[in-house]
Amino acid sequence: MRLLMINPNTSPAITTKMLAVARAAVPPGVKVVGVAGRFGARYISSRAAAAIAAHAALDALARHRGAYDAVVLACFGDPGLAALRELAAKPVVGMAEASILSACLLGGRFAIVTGGARWVPMLEEFVAAQGLGERLASVRAVSRTGAAIAANPAAVLRELAATCLAAVEEDGAEAVILGGAGLAGLARRLQPLVPVPLIDSVVAAAQQAAALAAFGPEKALRGSFAPAEPVAASGLSPALRNALRHGRLALPEKGNSATKTSRELVSRHIRARIALL
């Protein structure tokens, strides 16, 4: 099994850090391969940087299509997640979505602790968009950015622990997510200091991606994540322009004739098979 981890920022150090955490978290036999954004912010900490990261994530997948069983979008906030799912042939798991779904299984209400104050409203909006606003106890940010935490995690451990504890004692959180690439690997170190489950966003995404890959779902042929109608484009990388021209980023396995026909023929083919049952 092979997972493709896309880090849509341009920091090789952050990519390396997340890969180490993800590889330690997945079952034996699962290979995790990483790729960073070809362009964009060194670390994503604003709406503008996140919007650029969505493009970078699509571009990265277009350049590495086909040789994977699932994709991990390794940026908390999941920029471009829906677009990746629309165009990819395999399951795509976002760090933020995977983490909040895990948190909902572990407690009634959850909190997110991250780095950088600008992430607070962005993540509140993200959770609300998932329909889980009532489950959110709080989003709290420590003073240092995620990039600063990644560079020197020891310097912020005490503040992170105190912030997690405040989310539990003051906000009523029953699970706490350490959100962000820069916080990868810290949940295990902080767990003895926090009286509720701590969730590492990289671990949650990698493990859920491996589970979906093992499940082996087919690419949707109908609905909002089905391959889009082909469209011409300009100003994009050749790989991404080609993907839009064909309506998908990666072709399913050879021999899946259903994906080589129009939607009308797909429906006709499925109805004919149902009639034979």
For the chain, 277 residues long, the average pLDDT of each consecutive 10-residue run is 95 93 96 95 92 96 87 95 93 97 97 94 96 97 90 92 97 97 93 97 97 90 86 89 75 41 59 71
Q: Which of 111, 114, 41, 47 is nearest to 76 (CA)?
A: 114
Q: How many domains does the chain have?
A: 2
Do residue 194 and residue 214 come from a single domain? no
120 in the same domain as 78:
no
**Co-location of 194 and 217 in the same domain:** no
Q: What are the two backbone dihedrals, phi and then psi, of residue 175, each rounded to the nearest 5 degrees?
A: -155, 145
In a domain, 159, yes or no: yes
The pair of structure tokens assigned to 3 is 């997972």
Question: For position 26, what pLDDT does the model report?
Answer: 96
What is the model's pLDDT at position 249?
56
Give the per-residue pLDDT at 82: 95
* 212 and 76 inside one domain: yes
Considering the domain architecture, whether residues 23 and 153 belong to the same structural domain is answered as: no
Indicate whether 87 and 18 sit together in one domain. Answer: yes
Query: Which domain does 24 fall in, by range?
Result: 2-95+207-260
Identify the residue whose tokens are 């990483």.
34
Closest CA to 71 of 101, 37, 52, 94: 94
Q: Is residue 267 part of a domain?
A: no
- The label of the residue with tokens 């471009």 reads 80
**Burial zone of 154 (CB within 10 Å; 0-12 exposed, 13-18 middle, 19+ buried):** exposed
Which of 200, 229, 248 is a domain's end point? Answer: 200
pTM, two decimal places: 0.87
| DSSP reduced 3-state for 224 | coil
Q: Are residues 118 and 71 in the same domain?
A: no
Q: How many other CB atoms are there within 10 angstroms of residue 17's CB atom?
A: 20
Question: What is the domain-level CATH number for residue 63?
Answer: 3.40.50.12500
φ, ψ for residue 155, nearest 5 deg: -70, -15
Among candidate residues 17, 23, 126, 27, the one with its CA nearest the CA of residue 79: 126
Domain ends where: 168, 200, 232?
200
pLDDT tens-digit map of 119-154 = 999 999 999 999 999 999 999 999 898 888 988 989
